Structure 1
């Protein structure tokens, strides 16, 4: 088709006629694109103002810019305009999905055709051609911005200025092109070149050169290799492929991703307006697919995702690296240049409003509940924000939950001491294949952002800890209660007994009612008619052997599957944080009426605080004053005059307890108390002058824990696990019991073991009361 007829059908020329000299930068990858752009300019040439044209390929970041001609052309009067132009090739809809998308991996992206393919599109589908004009700017403005950006003045400033102008042209063309392609294709361009020419980065490297005595040039060359490793190089094609790949993997086992569309729109405004971090909870490898998929489907800018270098294996590593993945070394504490490079890269992304996202726990939760946050990445991101003087930093917690998780069986094995297999392409293919089984739905819930007016001072670990704690609390708040979490809670609370179908339904009703009264987050598609259809998810849990169903007797009964307590506990633990305060209350109430000669109310508060401290390595609590108010509010729900009733002793305890179903202390804290007791007994066997390191304590507790279970000194294999014993050791260490000492340490260690045995006795009492309450309700 003649080009002349194409120009007449395109949008009107967007630039007003004027008299200022104009430099047109033609972003063209081949001769045909250059021909189209030059013809377009000739078609609209009014002859009123002189103009120059320079052709560059601004979209190929691998080769850099051949900007010699641009450097000469920029020798213009300050008021002259610089206008970048580009040809945009629209893709046919079928080519960005399904088979057509994967065909592009061999034929190339139809949005970036070679000359032969472009000529064919021009002849057959001229409607797919769009011409893009970037925001014009004057030479004077560009020179002013360059002066504030450049590393230093020097003989290379003319060439450096040309490179700067070329990068700016690429940016404004990308901005204009996103109106045609969508916000999901917002990607950073020419990052490494921008950083290497940055004044801030060069000054940081110079300071490091002075400290270490290493020449700056050598450090810059080393930093360039780090940028090659860490700087993501996304393209539209690979973003499409990654989105399709994520959808493929998730749809193997999950029927849908459930999220709040209103919350999604609020998040859109946040990432548009503020430097943003999206920190998600980490249950499985699939978490890293959920957030990018949901954001891509909702036309969000591509989020940059941090991942460990262990996942940068052939195939998968290439895919992720070209779709927003930033692979970083697992450990770089002693590499100052690496830290400087990473910090400036992060600062650039935050400044340009590219949201960052990662798992703030640092690793997958092996127990189901939220793990303690890792500070490393948060520290570097906030230091970068401090360096760039970013304001109104929004840290958005995102809770990702699943009905059923493929990885849980692996976690259970790991906690017994089995090693974790190494990631590789072969491993990953096997993992993806293992997803092909029904696992319910995925739930993505967006929490209230933690907003920082400014980043804290670097090195302020207290502020960093508080920020991470706030993010964890908000993530816990929006973690939804799901059907599997409540079913496992019910059945674990009754174990080793099985429950009739009616008893399971009664438990679920009570637990759900308790949650609704407290306005807890409940899965939006929670089936409130579960009493009418005890299949669906429960059927999946039975197929997974997590739950057993026996229907050959007069009643249908359900129980936890043989050797499945650790797996079932995982799902219960995903919502356990909602019930911790109630569990502490139940145990403190029991302690208050068993302690003779003291004011029950005084004993109650003393025990609440003592238990809070005992399990401080397991759960996130509100600050003390707020925590006490939460306890008072919970008690007031049962009776506004609870303090007077409690002072009546056993009579008052019984009256309060009747108003408190369901009782949850045994199903909430039993696992942790048994694990702590095992570790305490291991330590108590040591001579008082002998200390114990964490690794030794965990190894011995694993061995003794198996014996204790076989002897039924503990109730479940779910109380045997590396992470449980690690936290138990931290508790013992915080009480000064793990270091060697005098003979008095023998009694202190023994007293700790006795205290935990006594706590287990009270938990058993709560369990017995719960059984009695169920029987009374049945009568």
Structure 2
């Protein structure tokens, strides 16, 4: 080892005066940490030292010279003894230009060739090559400014101007990593008779691999697909075949078709940048603080524990443009790799698209139809992501929900993910559902407008700038709840014992694949709903929107919120559901503070009300959690127009209606499980005094209409009653028009028009009541159940079970509602309703004994298509008439 003063004077005497001057000017801005702290112990005594650095750069040379001087190592600026080289250092990559010049890689074969030739003719001579990695601003801490993070170390070989800024901003966080020296003589002897030129290329490849490994360990893996994946996609066999097919089909040259494919990859591919992600995280910290009062993550530890060893695919619900920013931000803050997000190409706006791309967004078109090359290229890009274990995020709903409910899944991305895994099943795939709950939405008004018929406003930079006014508002709290993860392998095992055989043919489409994808989509939506967060606004919406004028006396609202909280606490929907800890009074106060409700002072007691547009917007937050109260709402619905019903009838009718509620709300139970939930809910209502149980629990009765318990049941029931009204509109329209009359599209349109008119006549504040997608989903469920089917002419025919459903509807829907729907619904010859249903214990006089009631119920179950008893009409005015 050289003496420190000797090494310092030797280095400075051999370096040009301007180099020494630049080193002195740079010294105050740079603080070097050597790794290892004493690299001189790595060197072999006696052999000349030649340093190799990853990238050429003036600042890197200054840092290396200073690090060697401080460590007592030979200077990189001195000539390399025994060779013609004037310096004892060379770089693997060099750049052209000065300030903003573009990068250009040049092979290091020339200096390596010189070193190899210098050893020829002298078998005792050796040169030790020391790889040195230099990182400026490796990982600024969170207290650093975001500008510093922007210029931190990454995988891109930046120009001199950016490197200078990095030195000024992050120079005090500089790491110089010295690797163990490589004996050039030893490697040359092991290579045998290999030619010097080929030997130099081999050494260069080894050094590049070494530097990449060190850089990945220090700053994380290289996730920039523009460098590491574009070539892989274009060189994949399916893409090469698609390029050849495109050239032949379009009668263009192969080179032109290749450039076309390259353009598609560049349109799709993310350009992930660590500095940009860290910079955006700094910016978002201030943004969220101005926008939200807090962001909470629940069950994240469970998600983190399940992830190792898996390819993780995040599948959150989609309710706002803020969804993907929030999830990525929270994952980054938690120290988890930010996923690559599938974003619609409509978001690739000038100025915004490049930032999203560097944050991990990859873009896809809304439709792949008519573009076979695009489809192959996108599938291959997704397959490369999965094969490399890059975490992914996409929304299987296909777009943002305008109603607050989960949308029917669009399984395209899921199908591509499953097929990519089947092609190379090296790492098991784990789907991670995420529920995102808001207390106010930035897009709320536009959603209400779109549901009312206004066209969706196309995304644009001007629209984005106009939308910045939303930043002047506060949007409450946000919750990110991580649901139960779903592993792909068990689903494949259940579908086919030999599914691994499908991996041998990348183009194979086994018949069970569609079933697996559909089951997977349903499980994801179910697990998102199971992880729901119930916030104060959800509770207020469930209560207030169930009243005709969206107003409640304060005491009634307090009691209703307390009841809903007790229901969710005693009968939790799942172990991943979360519920606000606020008491009812605090919930109301918070709703006033957020501007959702208004207090009207009155001597007999204050009234809380939500009005006009606020009521419409509030329906979104009721729909977020509607599934949590589905069983309670069904039981309550049975007593909207009936004082008494048998428990068996509640369960029987529940089983009939359940497939349709399940399809709309993505409920987790099978039919028997739903009945078990109904039983538990009935017992809860009995404990709370909302229902009275007679006849050894076989018969149920509610209080009179003016009773508080009846009022609470009515509020619960009305959260779901609009779904049954939609069902009745659909089946009534079909029955009224008759079989072989309407196509599915015509029925959907007729139902939508009927619902719109009914909403106008009744001043409904729920625009999802006439949402086409909900009618389409119900019609599809009828077809899946073979209650409705399409004839040879494309018209709908139906089973007699549909007419039975019309008759059963009178148990739930009031007579005036049914008649209004029949009057408005187009088609048919009038307003005649279907015959009355079979007599049941649902409609019974008040003076009948419980034994007689049970006897009548048993008899009623075996009598079909009879009329209601006259006693039911005369004794209980609340029972619906014929």
Mark yes or no: TM-score above 0.5: yes
Q: Is the 8 A contact 1:583 1:665 kept in 2?
A: yes
Q: Is the 8 A contact 1:54 1:73 kept in 2?
A: no
Question: Following the alignment from structure 1 to structure 2, what is the Cα–Cα distance between the partners of residues 270 and 169?
Answer: 32
Q: CA deviation at 1:56?
A: 1.2
Q: Secondary structure at the match of 1:618?
A: helix
2:176 to 110, 128, 131: 131
The reply to whether residue 707 of structure 1 matches residue 757 of structure 2 is yes
CA displacement, residues 645-675 of structure 1 (integer Å, 9 cap, x when unaligned): 9894997212899899756662332121223
Question: Following the alignment from structure 1 to structure 2, what is the Cα–Cα distance between the partners of residues 318 and 742?
Answer: 49
The reply to whether residue 296 of structure 1 matches residue 314 of structure 2 is no
Aligned to 2:133: 85
Aligned to 1:188: 223
RMSD after superposition: 5.0
Q: CA deviation at 1:623?
A: 3.5
Q: Is the 8 A contact 2:640 2:717 kept in 1?
A: no
The reply to whether residue 608 of structure 1 matches residue 654 of structure 2 is yes
Distance 1:690 1:638, change over 3 A: closer
Is there any run of 5+ residues in structure 1 with no aligned partner, and where?
Answer: 143-155, 767-779
Distance 1:570 1:49, change over 3 A: farther
Q: Scaled by the length of structure 1, what TM-score is found? A: 0.78
1:666 to 712, 717, 723: 717
Q: Is the 8 A contact 1:88 1:132 kept in 2?
A: no
Stretch moving more, 657-666 or 346-355: 657-666
Question: Following the alignment from structure 2 to structure 1, what is the Cα–Cα distance between the partners of residues 165 and 148?
Answer: 19
1:736 to 781, 788, 802: 788
Aligned to 1:251: 289
Q: CA deviation at 1:224?
A: 1.8
Stretch moving more, 526-535 or 314-323: 526-535
The reply to whether residue 653 of structure 1 matches residue 700 of structure 2 is yes
Aligned to 2:583: 529
Q: CA deviation at 1:440?
A: 1.0
2:533 to 463, 480, 502: 480
Distance 1:44 1:469, change over 3 A: farther
Q: Is the 8 A contact 1:549 1:557 kept in 2?
A: yes
Q: Is the 8 A contact 2:340 2:362 kept in 1?
A: yes
The reply to whether residue 315 of structure 1 matches residue 368 of structure 2 is no
Higher Cα radius of gyration: 2
Q: CA deviation at 1:345?
A: 2.7
Q: Secondary structure at the match of 1:494?
A: coil
Task: Note the 1:337-486 alignment, pairs <5 A.
Answer: 337-453=373-489, 456=492, 459=509, 460-486=513-539
Distance 1:638 1:197, change over 3 A: closer
The reply to whether residue 30 of structure 1 matches residue 57 of structure 2 is yes
Aligned to 2:663: 617
Stretch moving more, 664-673 or 607-616: 664-673
Question: Following the alignment from structure 1 to structure 2, what is the Cα–Cα distance between the partners of residues 165 and 333?
Answer: 45
Q: Is the 8 A contact 2:543 2:557 kept in 1?
A: yes
Aligned residues: 723
Distance 1:264 1:704, change over 3 A: closer
Task: Note the 1:502-651 alignment, pairs <5 A.
Answer: 502-520=555-573, 526-531=580-585, 534-542=588-596, 547-562=597-612, 564-587=614-637, 603-621=649-667, 622-634=669-681, 648=695
Aligned to 2:837: none
Question: Following the alignment from structure 1 to structure 2, what is the Cα–Cα distance between the partners of residues 306 and 237?
Answer: 21
Aligned to 1:772: none
Distance 1:455 1:748, change over 3 A: closer
Q: Is the 8 A contact 2:789 2:797 kept in 1?
A: no
Task: Note the 1:23-172 alignment, pairs <5 A.
Answer: 26-28=53-55, 30-37=57-64, 44=73, 53-56=90-93, 66-70=105-109, 73=112, 83=131, 85-89=133-137, 97=145, 100=147, 115=160, 127-132=172-177, 168-169=209-210, 171-172=212-213
CA displacement, residues 154-188 of structure 1 (integer Å, 9 cap, x when unaligned): xx99999899768745642432332xxxx6xx551
Q: CA deviation at 1:202?
A: 2.8
Aligned to 1:496: 549
CA displacement, residues 281-334 of structure 1 (integer Å, 9 cap, x when unaligned): 111111121111112222322221110001111111121011111111111144
Q: Is the 8 A contact 1:683 1:738 kept in 2?
A: no
The reply to whether residue 177 of structure 1 matches residue 210 of structure 2 is no
Distance 1:381 1:217, change over 3 A: farther
Question: Following the alignment from structure 2 to structure 1, what is the Cα–Cα distance between the partners of residues 714 and 367?
Answer: 45
Q: CA deviation at 1:390?
A: 2.9
Q: Is the 8 A contact 1:18 1:48 kept in 2?
A: no
The reply to whether residue 327 of structure 1 matches residue 363 of structure 2 is yes
Distance 1:412 1:439, change over 3 A: same
Q: Is the 8 A contact 1:274 1:393 kept in 2?
A: yes
Aligned to 2:6: none
Question: Following the alignment from structure 1 to structure 2, what is the Cα–Cα distance between the partners of residues 530 and 189?
Answer: 50
CA displacement, residues 672-691 of structure 1 (integer Å, 9 cap, x when unaligned): 12233334444455464432
Q: Secondary structure at the match of 1:615?
A: helix
Question: Following the alignment from structure 2 to structure 1, what is the Cα–Cα distance between the partners of residues 757 and 358?
Answer: 51
Question: Following the alignment from structure 1 to structure 2, what is the Cα–Cα distance between the partners of residues 470 and 252?
Answer: 36
2:259 to 205, 221, 231: 221
Q: Is the 8 A contact 2:636 2:717 kept in 1?
A: no
Q: Is the 8 A contact 1:58 1:170 kept in 2?
A: no
CA displacement, residues 239-285 of structure 1 (integer Å, 9 cap, x when unaligned): 2343244345433431111123xx43444455554211111111111
Question: Following the alignment from structure 1 to structure 2, what is the Cα–Cα distance between the partners of residues 466 and 49?
Answer: 71
Q: Is the 8 A contact 1:25 1:82 kept in 2?
A: yes
Task: Note the 1:8-27 alignment, pairs <5 A.
Answer: 10-11=34-35, 12=37, 16-17=42-43, 26-27=53-54
Question: Following the alignment from structure 1 to structure 2, what is the Cα–Cα distance between the partners of residues 705 and 366?
Answer: 17
Q: CA deviation at 1:232?
A: 1.2
Q: CA deviation at 1:469?
A: 1.9
Question: Following the alignment from structure 1 to structure 2, what is the Cα–Cα distance between the partners of residues 218 and 562?
Answer: 58
Question: Following the alignment from structure 1 to structure 2, what is the Cα–Cα distance between the partners of residues 17 and 431?
Answer: 62
Distance 1:169 1:668, change over 3 A: farther
Question: Following the alignment from structure 2 to structure 1, what is the Cα–Cα distance between the partners of residues 169 and 782?
Answer: 76
Distance 1:95 1:609, change over 3 A: closer
CA displacement, residues 700-728 of structure 1 (integer Å, 9 cap, x when unaligned): 44433343234449896652333333334
Q: Is the 8 A contact 1:550 1:556 kept in 2?
A: yes
Distance 1:605 1:425, change over 3 A: same
Q: Is the 8 A contact 1:370 1:472 kept in 2?
A: yes
Aligned to 1:149: none
Q: Is the 8 A contact 1:195 1:344 kept in 2?
A: no
Is there any run of 5+ residues in structure 2 with no aligned partner, and where?
Answer: 1-22, 120-127, 188-196, 493-501, 503-507, 818-841, 844-882
Distance 1:348 1:334, change over 3 A: same
Question: Following the alignment from structure 1 to structure 2, what is the Cα–Cα distance between the partners of residues 307 and 134?
Answer: 41
Question: Following the alignment from structure 1 to structure 2, what is the Cα–Cα distance between the partners of residues 532 and 391?
Answer: 48
Q: Scaled by the length of structure 2, what TM-score is found? A: 0.69
Q: Is the 8 A contact 1:347 1:381 kept in 2?
A: yes
CA displacement, residues 171-210 of structure 1 (integer Å, 9 cap, x when unaligned): 42432332xxxx6xx5514555545257x95323344467
